[in-house]
Amino acid sequence: MFLNGRLQGEPRLEVRSPWNGALAGTAAMDSAIAVDQAVRAAAGYDRRLTGERRSAILTETAGLLRSRREALASLITAEAGLCYRDSTREVDRACANLRIAAEEARRIHGQTMELTAGEERRMALTIREPVGTVAAITPFNRPLNQVVVKVAPAIAANNAVIVKPSEKAPLAALELAQALVDSGLPAEMIGVVTGDPAEVGTALVTHELVDMVTFTGSVATGERIAAAAGMRKLLLELGGNDPLIVLDDADLDRAAAIAVGGAFGNSGQSCRGVKRILVTPGIADQFVGRLQERTRTLRFGDPRDPATDVGPLITEQYAVAVVEVCRAAVAQGARLLCGGHRDGAVVAPTVLDHVDPRADVVTDETFGPVAPVIRVGSADEAIEVANSTRYGLQAGVVTNSFDAFLSIASGLRVGAVNLMDGPNFDSPYVPFGGVKKSGLGREGVRFAIAEMTTFKTVVLPWLPPWPGGGCMQAE
Ligand code: NAD
């Protein structure tokens, strides 16, 4: 664990590269007792750290990460198998989130409120207070930035935070905690616990001194955590199976480039990515041809090679499951145009055409490099199919008709819709999150800060302005 500003405990958790099994590093196998220690240390934190100081700490942390960009990217590639290019992007995004959280730390304000008739002799103020101790549970697929999007706003808002990173890739989270303390964050404001999720995760989300749980991961785990957490603040960022809708009037080269970027980026292990491609009849054959052509140019294999586009999945079992779900789709009538096989944990970039909208590969979340094409009869049918699953994170639409886009955008039940782009937009400035089973609440620095603060209302005696103003008097 990371407690009192340093690593502690026996490093019994071996973290191995999903590419070649090489040891990427070690972490502790913490127990429920360790979790209790970390939460109790956090609960006593001193809340007098000013916004200006928190801002300086976050800025300094961004600078430290930036100065270690290549080393951190190599660590992320080693522990999670992300392609080196994706890992450097991961570090850059983490730095951006820290810098924007640093800006926001200086402007967390309440309001003053005039009251109603009969209450003229009072005024109300709202003060934004930190929720207290935040438990942050994060997934394997973005081992640094997924931690930063929780930790940076939590600290900006003056909370203490205990992180439980994925046991599959916990090393970058430990580096982040060290960088925060090295930048001057009081040690009790950041802790990291690692190990068996059933023990450590459960102990954390049920601890009486944890005030809020912010979780990113699968729907199944999110539901388990929501049930265990009981009555405390909850923010859930869960899975998705985002559609990309390509209409008859689309620029097909652009549509194919968007589809390839969205389906195969981060080796397909992305919550927001192209998981289903819905195409209308006029361009379906041409579009599929271009999609296949582009996919065949992708390089897959060693994630350490900067030229690699698609690397391994997090474990070989995940790769087996992805190949299996593609085979099942073919058994249900889909045509396999390329890929559909694996070597170890690496799944070759796969394109499936004529996929049945009821096939598991598109109704569930397929966390791998697969581009399944569903042929639909019209834009209206695209909306219906897009809405037919339990998820609702993002969608992308490729069309030159703004009217068609507006009607699709208003018909989709999702957290965000992108025109002429894939369903994979993410910026520290915008609200990020889903509807339906894709989540509850919003991240994005300013929006996460709103989730991580509560209003305290203070009512003061006040005199109505002129005439008869003067000194403030109690009633
Ligand atoms: P996961 O649900 O298996 O694990 C997520 C985290 O929960 C890990 O740290 C894990 O150790 C922990 N955990 C597991 N069981 C727990 C328990 N009983 N109590 C407490 N913690 C527990 O997810 P994963 O496989 O690591 O990540 C992939 C999933 O994350 C995908 O579904 C993906 O869509 C989702 N994801 C969502 C977003 C988003 O912003 N919506 C972003 C990234 C990933």
Nearest Cα to 368, choosing from 293, 441, 452, 264? Answer: 264
CA of 24 to the centre of ligand 1 (A): 21
Strand order in the sheet with 453-461: 112-114, 122-130, 453-461
Q: Would you call 237 a catalytic residue per the annotation?
A: yes
Q: Does 470 fall in a domain? A: no
Burial class (CB in 10 A: 0-12, 13-18, 19+), 251: middle
pLDDT at 119: 85
Does one domain contain both 298 and 405? yes
Q: Does 40 fall in a domain? A: yes
Q: Does 258 fall in a domain? A: yes
Q: Does 466 fall in a domain? A: no
CA of 141 to the centre of ligand 1 (A): 9
310 lines ligand 1 (CB under 6 A): no
Range of the domain at 185: 2-239+430-457
Q: Which of 79, 104, 188, 271 is catalytic?
A: 271
| Tally of structural domains, the chain | 2
Structure tokens at 224: 């388990």
pLDDT tens digits, one per residue of 422-443: 999 999 999 999 999 999 999 9
pLDDT at 415: 97
Does one domain contain both 225 and 277? no
Structure tokens at 248: 């008859």
Distance between CA atoms of residues 70 and 77, nearest Å: 10
Beta strand pairing call for 122-130 and 453-461? antiparallel
Q: Which of 79, 104, 175, 237 is catalytic?
A: 237
Does one domain contain both 232 and 356? no
pLDDT tens digits, one per residue of 124-135: 999 999 999 999
Rounded mean pLDDT, 225-230: 97
CATH number of the domain enclosing 267: 3.40.309.10
Structure tokens at 292: 């296949």
Nearest-atom index, ligand 1, CA of 139: 26
Q: Does 183 fall in a domain? A: yes
- Whole-model pTM: value is 0.96
Strand partners, 277: 244, 373
139 lines ligand 1 (CB under 6 A): yes
pLDDT at 115: 85
CA of 284 to the centre of ligand 1 (A): 35
Does one domain contain both 112 and 215? yes
Q: Does 425 fall in a domain? A: no
pLDDT tens digits, one per residue of 55-111: 999 999 999 999 999 999 999 999 999 999 999 999 999 999 999 999 999 999 999
pLDDT at residue 118 tops 90:
no
pLDDT tens digits, one per residue of 160-196: 999 999 999 999 999 999 999 999 999 999 999 999 9
CA of 175 to the centre of ligand 1 (A): 20
Q: Does 62 fall in a domain? A: yes
pLDDT tens digits, one per residue of 7-42: 998 999 999 999 999 999 999 999 999 999 999 999
20 lines ligand 1 (CB under 6 A): no
Does one domain contain both 25 and 157? yes
pLDDT at 466: 64
pLDDT at 475: 46
315 lines ligand 1 (CB under 6 A): no
CATH number of the domain enclosing 123: 3.40.605.10
Q: Does 463 fall in a domain? A: no
pLDDT tens digits, one per residue of 325-377: 999 999 999 999 999 999 999 999 999 999 999 999 999 999 999 999 999 99
Q: Would you call 451 a catalytic residue per the annotation?
A: no
Distance between CA atoms of residues 7 and 288, nearest Å: 51
pLDDT at residue 469 tops 60:
no
**DSSP structural state of residue 271:** S
CA of 445 to the centre of ligand 1 (A): 20
Does one domain contain both 211 and 254? no
How far from 212 is each of 29, 137, 189, 234, 462, CA to CA, in Å?
24, 11, 14, 6, 35
Does one domain contain both 205 and 255? no
Rounded mean pLDDT, 132-139: 98
Alpha helices in 353-444 (DSSP H): 360-363, 379-386, 402-411
Does one domain contain both 231 and 167? yes
Does one domain contain both 406 and 266? yes
Nearest-atom index, ligand 1, CA of 220: 2
pLDDT at 117: 82
| Contact call for residues 285 and 334 (beta carbons, < 8 A) | no
**Which of 419, 445, 465 is a domain's end point?**
419
Does one domain contain both 231 and 258? no
Does one domain contain both 277 and 203? no
Does one domain contain both 398 and 438? no
